[in-house]
Amino acid sequence: MTQAPDLDQSDLYLNRELAALEFNFRVLAQARDPRMPLLERLRFLCIANTNLDEYFEVRVAVLKQHLAFGDARPGADGLPPSEVLTRIRERALELVREQYMTWSDELQPALAEEGIRFLTRDKWTAKQKRWLQGYFQNEILPVLSPLGLDPAHPFPRILNKSLNIAVVLEGRDAFGHAGHMALVRAPRSLPRLIRLPAQVSQSPYEFIFLAGLLQQFADEMFPGFRVQGSYQFRVTRNSELTIEEEEVENLANALTEELIGRGYARPVRLEIAENCPKAITELLMANFELNEADVYRCAGPVNLNRVLAIYDQVDRPDLKFAKFTPRLAPALLQTPGVFDVIGQRDVLLHHPYESFQAVMELLRQAAQDPDVLAIKQTLYRVGTDSPLVESLVEAARAGKDVTVVVELRARFDEEANIRLANRLQSAGVQVVYGVVGYKTHAKMLLIVRREGRRLRRYVHLSTGNYHQLTSRLYTDIGLMTAHAEIGEDVHKVFQQMSGLGPMIKLKRLLHSPFTLHKGLMAKIERETAHARAGRAARIIAKINALNEPGVIQALYRASGAGVEIDLIVRGGCTLRPGLPGVSERIRVRSVVGRFLEHSRVYWFANDGAPELYCASADWMERNLLRRIEVGFPILDPELAARVFEETLVNYLADNTQAWQLGSDGRYTRVAIGDTMPHSAQRTLLAKICG
């Protein structure tokens, strides 16, 4: 009898931080793909760059913090944080080199061929230089506050990710002081890219980096000195807010105070120009208390992600993805009354192919309907000027009972959510900040409506945020339903969050941190039992990330028992597929394309009676055990079949934008081979949007 493998062995798991970093290589690959429209390739380059910024601001910062405070416990992979940081640097250096190579060797030449040029100082004509000097004197110099460094002017506080120029000066100032080093901070009010006007341009679109202007005309900021050199740099700081919620009386006030200092928190990375001398580099390192392992030299502009600003300035539709119009869900076209439709049948929404307008219309009609008595909603990320917020305000002012759970701790949206909460409260909305210690990540809308002698609940549940902009950029599944048991479950979850009530028992929903993890484990184990009994067993899941050790071990056991498992994991995955005797029947793929894959769908074969759930939760420790999340079943067989085909079968067939994860933690692009090319996203655009 074969001995069961020890599933606690550290070599069965990939490191979660390194797995998350790998995603950016797949994003960068889109920037290098000649099949992509050129300006979209530029956009992917910038996304990879900003992703890396956030990676250092949060993941690297937290690792460094753990080391500093002696909380350096390894994860399931067994790697101590010090070793993880070493490996992160090795891989991040590779990523940075590839980013700048993609920019200088591939994208810049291709853009220049299309008449879109980025001019460095050595490429300026005399006419352009005169115009730029005038622009500098009239538009830039009056805004600058250059700072010479001496005992009376110590090194200033440098804002997180701000563009700065270190200038080396020679000579004496008006007070007789010898030359020194000075710093020039690029004000945030100035554009990072300046477009040359037609009268001095030699191409349809010519752009100059602000950093180039600051360096070229540095002598005008320091009259009387000779500029010996000027070097761009940028510092990245810890942006993870740490609030001891149990110890604060007012979470909103505490977060507001924390946000004030976020831009000046502890540094974690220093980006400098490739040609920056050793002495200047060491001075910057000493000031920011960083070492050589924290320094990244840039073979180009240190603020590379700023080139994205040209995307909207360049009127070249042929270099962008073709525009599309999301369709309105067919069921909602039959009648203008949303409640009439949902009252008769469930409605499925597949974003971005189907319009988010359906959700906004549901809330708009609820706000204006005299029979609607109450509205309850969770808001995690909303966006500015959202019609949803306007409808909530309108409903409250119309006398309806409106309760909104606003998650203040949505990373990098904290300030916007505080403003949102204040606005809602001023309009009479009852605002709840969720549960201490647990982020509210569930996406739920509940409407209570009087119909004759009874009250009826209408519900919208989603895998994505109530954000009209990202609904055009992210793939998500939404469900509108008047199913009585689902409505009752959603009502109980809202009651628990607002009233801080005791444990609740739900009939249809899986609810984190209580039943979602347990329910998921039970369903995996049920498939395992089917396989051991000789029945066909299969699991397919589409999620953004996978790192929860208990779930991974359950999947390993299922694979060992004979369950066929396909996982479509967009981002980091710490499960090692294809290990002999452990995960031979597990396949992991990642699809990266035009839209950010964001929908979470779990499917279990269940011996011919399949179950399909959509959810707000990934299979991550934080989602399953430390957040408020919901998983909701798609009960209508026709809609369940549609979700199965569109989000699972369709993506397993993708051979143009899919990547396969190997047991070594590296991804290889799926080859088209002899089969017909199949893109999951393009297939859905053609099928749904026409």
Among 43-57, 287-301, 412-426, 483-497, name the one with the lowest average pLDDT.
412-426
Do 12-319 and 330-508 fold alike per CATH?
no
Which tokens go with 110?
């291709």
Task: List residues bridging with 232 in a β-sheet.
Answer: 165
Q: Classify the phi-psi angles of 147: left when phi > 0, otherwise alpha if psi is within -120 to 50, otherwise beta.
A: beta
Q: What CATH superfamily is the domain 330-508?
A: Endonuclease Chain A (3.30.870.10)
Which tokens go with 124?
């300026």
The confidence score (pLDDT) of residue 176 equals 56
| Helix 414-426, helix 387-397: angle, nearest 10 | 30
Type of residue numbered 613: Y
Q: Is the dihedral of CA 30, 36, 42, 47 positive or negative?
A: negative
Percent above pLDDT 70 for the chain: 94
Per-residue pLDDT, averaged over 165-171, amounts to 89
Which tokens go with 209?
């980096």
Catalytic residue among 177, 350, 351, 441: 441
Query: Would you say 111 and 320 are in contact if contact means Cβ atoms under 8 Å apart?
Result: no
The confidence score (pLDDT) of residue 285 equals 95
Distance CA 158, CA 173 (A): 24
Domain 511-689, CATH among 3.30.870.10, 3.20.20.370, 3.30.565.10, 1.10.8.10:
3.30.870.10
Query: Would you say 407 and 378 are in contact if contact means Cβ atoms under 8 Å apart?
Result: yes
Per-residue pLDDT, averaged over 208-228, amounts to 91
Q: What band does 248 get if pLDDT is binned at 50, 70 and 90?
A: very low
Distance CA 112, CA 310 (A): 13
In sequence order, which ranges of 32-125 are alpha helices (DSSP H)? 38-54, 61-68, 81-101, 108-113
pLDDT digits (tens, 9 = 90+) for 490-508: 999 999 988 777 778 999 9
Strands of the 116-118 sheet, one edge to the other: 116-118, 205-209, 193-195
Q: What's the mean pLDDT when you consider all of the chain?
A: 92
Q: What band does 286 get if pLDDT is binned at 50, 70 and 90?
A: very high
Query: Would you say 545 and 570 are in contact if contact means Cβ atoms under 8 Å apart?
Result: yes
Q: How far apart are the first and last CA of the chain?
A: 56
Q: Does residue 467 have an active-site annotation?
A: no
Residue 644 in this model has a pLDDT that exceeds 70:
yes
Residue 468 in this model has a pLDDT that exceeds 70:
yes
Distance CA 233, CA 161 (A): 9
Residue 221 in this model has a pLDDT that exceeds 80:
yes
Instruction: Compute the CA torsion angle 198, 202, 208, 212 (nearest 10 deg).
Output: -130
Per-residue pLDDT, averaged over 441-466, amounts to 96
pLDDT digits (tens, 9 = 90+) for 55-98: 999 999 999 988 887 776 788 999 999 999 999 999 999 999 99
Which candidate, 331, 401, 398, places its Cα nearest to that of 361? Answer: 331
Q: What band does 384 get if pLDDT is binned at 50, 70 and 90?
A: confident
Q: What CATH superfamily is the domain 12-319?
A: Polyphosphate kinase middle domain (3.30.1840.10)
pLDDT digits (tens, 9 = 90+) for 337-346: 999 999 999 9
Q: What band does 255 get if pLDDT is binned at 50, 70 and 90?
A: low
Domain boundaries, the chain: 12-319, 330-508, 511-689
The confidence score (pLDDT) of residue 224 equals 80
Residue 245 in this model has a pLDDT that exceeds 50:
yes
pLDDT digits (tens, 9 = 90+) for 512-542: 999 999 999 999 999 999 999 999 999 999 9
The residue with greater pLDDT, 524 or 331, is 524
The residue with greater pLDDT, 385 or 237, is 237
Residue 151 in this model has a pLDDT that exceeds 70:
no
Q: Is the dihedral of CA 115, 118, 122, 128 positive or negative?
A: positive
Query: Would you say 464 and 380 are in contact if contact means Cβ atoms under 8 Å apart?
Result: no
The confidence score (pLDDT) of residue 258 equals 64
- DSSP classification of residue 197: P
Distance CA 211, CA 313 (A): 19
Q: What is the pTM of this model?
A: 0.94
Residue 1 in this model has a pLDDT that exceeds 50:
no
The confidence score (pLDDT) of residue 192 equals 92
% helix / strand / coil in the chain, to the nearest 5?
A: 40, 25, 35
Distance CA 538, CA 564 (A): 5
Other Cβ atoms closer than 10 A to 295: 19
Which tokens go with 235?
């510092």
The confidence score (pLDDT) of residue 243 equals 59
pLDDT digits (tens, 9 = 90+) for 175-198: 555 557 899 999 889 999 999 999
- DSSP classification of residue 546: B
